[in-house]
C-alpha cells in the first residue's frame, strides 16, 4: 500500500486538480466547436429533431463524402444521426426499450449469444429516396465472457452485422 508521504503532496494536489478540472468539463452540457458543424447539417438536425441537445459529434469520410455523426438527446432519450455535409440525413438511431423488441429479433440474439445481456438497444431508421425506412436494431450485448458485442438485426430477425465477425476479418 502506498502512503501519501511516499507519493508526495505535489502529486496529490495534481491529482485533485485534474479531478476538479475533469469534473468541470463533464458538467458542461454543450460540446465544443458546434460552430464547426456546417449550417445545412444543423438545419437538417433541428428540422428533424427540434429538441435535440447535442452531446458529441464527429466528422468522417464515407465513400468520398463528408458525413457528420451527431450524438444527442431528444426528450431525454439517446439518439444519433448521420448527416452529409449538404444536410441530407443518411440515417438516425433512437434509444429503444429492449422489452418491446419484436420476437424474431430477441430469438436471433438469443440464438447467436445465448447467455448475453442486452446493454443498449437503438432502433435504426434509414432514409431511402426521402422516406424513413426501418433499418433494424443496433444492440450492444455483454457476453457471458464479459466481452462487448454489437449486433445489427432486422425486425424479421436476420443478423445484418456482428462486430465479432468484423474483428475476425481484420485478423
Q: What is the pLDDT of residues 51-104, one digit of tens each?
A: 999 999 999 998 899 999 999 999 999 999 999 999 999 999 999 999 999 999
| Mean pLDDT within 135-151 | 95
Work out the pLDDT band at 166, boundaries 50, 70, 90: low
Q: Are 10 and 16 in contact (CB under 8 A)?
A: no
SS3 assignment, position 140:
strand
| 30 vs 169, more confident | 30
pTM, entire model: 0.76
The pLDDT score that the predictor gives to residue 30 is 59
Delineate the domains of the chain, giving CATH numbers in brackets: 29-90 (3.10.450), 96-171 (no CATH)
Q: What distance in Å separates the CA atoms of residue 159 and residue 155, rounded to the nearest whole number? A: 10
**Please, are residues 26 and 43 in contact by the beta-carbon 8 Å criterion?**
no
Amino acid at each position: 500500500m502506498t502512503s501519501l508521504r511516499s507519493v508526495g503532496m505535489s502529486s496529490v494536489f495534481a491529482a485533485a486538480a485534474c479531478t476538479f478540472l475533469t469534473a468541470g468539463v463533464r458538467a458542461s452540457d454543450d460540446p465544443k466547436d458546434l460552430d464547426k458543424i456546417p449550417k445545412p447539417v444543423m438545419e437538417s438536425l433541428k428540422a428533424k429533431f427540434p429538441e435535440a441537445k447535442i452531446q458529441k459529434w464527429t466528422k468522417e469520410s464515407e465513400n468520398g463524402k463528408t458525413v457528420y455523426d451527431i450524438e444527442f438527446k431528444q426528450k431525454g432519450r439517446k439518439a444519433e444521426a448521420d448527416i452529409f455535409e449538404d444536410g441530407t440525413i443518411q440515417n438516425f438511431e433512437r434509444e429503444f426499450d429492449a422489452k418491446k423488441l419484436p420476437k424474431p429479433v430477441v430469438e436471433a440474439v438469443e440464438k447467436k449469444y445465448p447467455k448475453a445481456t442486452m446493454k443498449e438497444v437503438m432502433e435504426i431508421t434509414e432514409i431511402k429516396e426521402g422516406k424513413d425506412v426501418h433499418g433494424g436494431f443496433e444492440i450492444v450485448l455483454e457476453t457471458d465472457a464479459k466481452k462487448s458485442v454489437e449486433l445489427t438485426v432486422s425486425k424479421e430477425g436476420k443478423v445484418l452485422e456482428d462486430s465479432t465477425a468484423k474483428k475476425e476479418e481484420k485478423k
